[in-house]
Chain A
């Protein structure tokens, strides 16, 4: 059977490390390998955190005038809707992870599918918001517009990556590749998806809620 990067190869004790004294290889215990996998994933998440924190600081520094923080004029109801959709998708990803931990394959496949659907709807909502926003301001028109398109664009790309990640996990799940004892692919995908959700928690506040719409931006 062929293996892919997301298949649970790390749990069978097949991974080895070098023995410094004899140049040979010694096996790594599966539990330890899982800890290494998690450490690597969290280090990746931390590195991504620096990127998004930088963007967030940029928004707070640039998106203000002498009266205080400014923001582009956006549809508040649409912002709330897509935020709720992303939170719901995180719920289903968590549900999928719990399901596979208990070998509940039907719930795992169903929850993963719903998470993918909600992720796609979220991206669709962002694209719709872009179309609406373009009627009022351009990315290069003023700083609020530039920040809005940049922040939502970078985040939407990460959501798209997460959707692809979820699709791979879903396909593997349909083929029965995961089990209660071996599902690192599901866990890493869930970690990534929840991280993207955490980023949006801050981006939603920064883009939609903080500050006022300056008169030069209001239409």
Chain B
């Protein structure tokens, strides 16, 4: 029973994390769109640098939270998420 409760909480937390990541990605995409379609940028002479930086951050978020790259060298994390073999 205790395990079920723990597992239920883990599931809700993981679902919530997925939603938060989606919102973060959506916000960054909106910023990208605003920068890319703006006529004049006050801080940058070219859109290359800010857009590349945002793209790198977005890729990092996906690789870390959706692709779980840390599981490659830290499989113990999974046990905490209820994914142990």
A and B physically associate: yes
Residues of chain A touching chain B, judged by Cβ–Cβ distance below 8 Å, are 11, 30-31, 34-35, 38-39, 42, 68-69, 76, 80, 83-84, 87-88, 90-91, 93-95, 98-99, 101-102, 104, 180-181, 190-191, 194-195, 197-198, 201-202, 204-205, 208-211
| Among candidates A11, A68, A101, A209, residue contacting B36 with C-beta atoms closer than 8 Å | A209
Query: Considering only CB atoms, which chain A residue lies closest to B47 in the complex?
Result: A210
> How far apart sit A209 and B54, CA to CA, in the bound complex (Å)?
12
Given A38-B72, A91-B18, A205-B52: 7 more A-B contacts, CB < 8 Å: A11-B85, A34-B75, A90-B62, A99-B11, A102-B11, A191-B67, A205-B54
Shortest Cβ distance from B81 into A: residue: A101
A99→B75 CA distance, assembly (Å): 19
Question: Complex Cα distance A104/B11, Å?
Answer: 9
Partner of A34, one of B29, B58, B85: B85
Contacts from B to A (Cβ < 8 Å): 7, 10-11, 14-15, 18-19, 21-22, 25-26, 29, 32-33, 35-37, 46-48, 51-52, 54-55, 58-59, 62-63, 65-67, 69, 71-72, 75, 81-85
A-B contact pairs, 25 of them (CB 8 A): A11-B85, A35-B75, A38-B72, A68-B46, A76-B33, A76-B37, A88-B22, A90-B66, A91-B18, A94-B18, A98-B14, A99-B11, A101-B11, A101-B14, A102-B14, A180-B82, A181-B85, A191-B67, A197-B62, A201-B55, A205-B32, A205-B51, A205-B52, A209-B35, A210-B47
